[in-house]
Amino acid sequence: MAGRIFNISIAGCSKVAHLHAKAIDAIPNARLTGVWNRTASKAVEFATLYKTSSYPDVTSMVKASGSDLVIVCTAHPYHKTPALEAALAGANVLVEKPLSSSLQDCDEIIEACKRMNVSLGVISQRRWYEPVKRVKQAIDAGKIGKPLLGVVTMLGWRDKAYYDSDEWRGSWETEGGGVLVNQAPHQLDLLLWYMGDVDEVYGIWKNLNHPYIEVEDTAVAIVKFRNGAIGNILVSNSQKPGLYGKVQIHGKNGSSIGVQTDGGAMFIAGRSGVTEPPVNDLWTIPGEEHLLNEWIGQDTSTFNNCDPTIRYIQYQIEDYLNAIENKMKPSVTGEDGRRTVELFTAIYRSARDDKPVKFPLKPETGTDKNKK
């Protein structure tokens, strides 16, 4: 990437947009050249804070600022429109997770980027956590044999103040779902990254202790993967104050490896920091068991010497810019983002129809509202 300066603009001045602006500032060959927001005054305020320009719409922002990349940081119910406008204006697009809550929206974004020959990626910065990469490297090296069982456990908490903080939260019509759509995509992405494509899902969801919202606060699913492996998903926003998010993989040779991506009170952009470092919490590969404490020490030191809410977003943006420069696919593609949406959509459809759902999934006719 040496020698080239990338112009990056941000669509949506949300809480997470501040993390992206700071990450861009830390990248030597990138600069923030513009921002847009649905509420113009908020864009002006954001632009002033980060010493850039605000624009009345995404198209003019891309054209006037010469944007190589637009990072979509709107609330996820509003990802589609700025992503499409950015692509049609000729910019590459990087979308905060999830790509959408709707498969139909995902497909429209992917199709537009292909038609305009621009790159599309989805933020999943936990892939760059050191203990997360360690799990992937062990799987790829064959250290556990074939991965046969993948388990996601995410026990978190969201209070009424959280759901009251934005008008779109907690509604099927506007948020498109609950814990599966908003909190779980990082862990679901890692499960798919480690285990591969899904063949069938049986799932259920419940609202256990949030009577003031329509959507689920808890979901459970059994997953059959195409390679014959199986998996289990348990995600919940019903445990005070929020405990942990874990992804654990068990292999054919009996070895087990895992990562706790989130611990303590669960991270909320703009409201809380990362309270505990991501660490490998399970490692039984013969001859490597003794490394667990060493890695925990290393990863804790890394965590304590940076702002992790910014560093790993920075790493993903750098990966994306490198992909643009070298005409490669980014590490997390639009199709990867769609796979996560496909997985949680399958859980909703399974719960609705009370039967397993076979993959691949297509958008349902109309608005793809299939959760209730």
Residue at 150: amino acid letter:
G
Q: What CATH architecture does domain 126-307 belong to? A: 2-Layer Sandwich (3.30)
Q: What's this model's pTM, rounded to 2 decimal places?
A: 0.95
pLDDT in tens, 223-278: 999 999 999 999 999 999 889 999 999 999 999 999 999 998 655 555 555 679 99
3-state helix, strand, coil in the chain (%, to 5): 40, 25, 40
Mean pLDDT of the chain: 95
Tokens of 315: 């790493």
According to CATH, where is 3.30.360.10 located in the chain? 126-307
pLDDT in tens, 101-134: 999 999 999 999 999 999 999 999 999 999 999 9
Q: Which fold has domain 6-125+324-333?
A: Rossmann fold (3.40.50)
* SS3 assignment, position 31: strand
Strand ranges across the sheet with 30-36: 30-36, 6-11, 69-72, 92-95, 120-122
**Burial of 93: CB neighbours in 10 Å, binned 0-12, 13-18, 19+:** buried
According to CATH, where is 3.40.50.720 located in the chain? 6-125+324-333
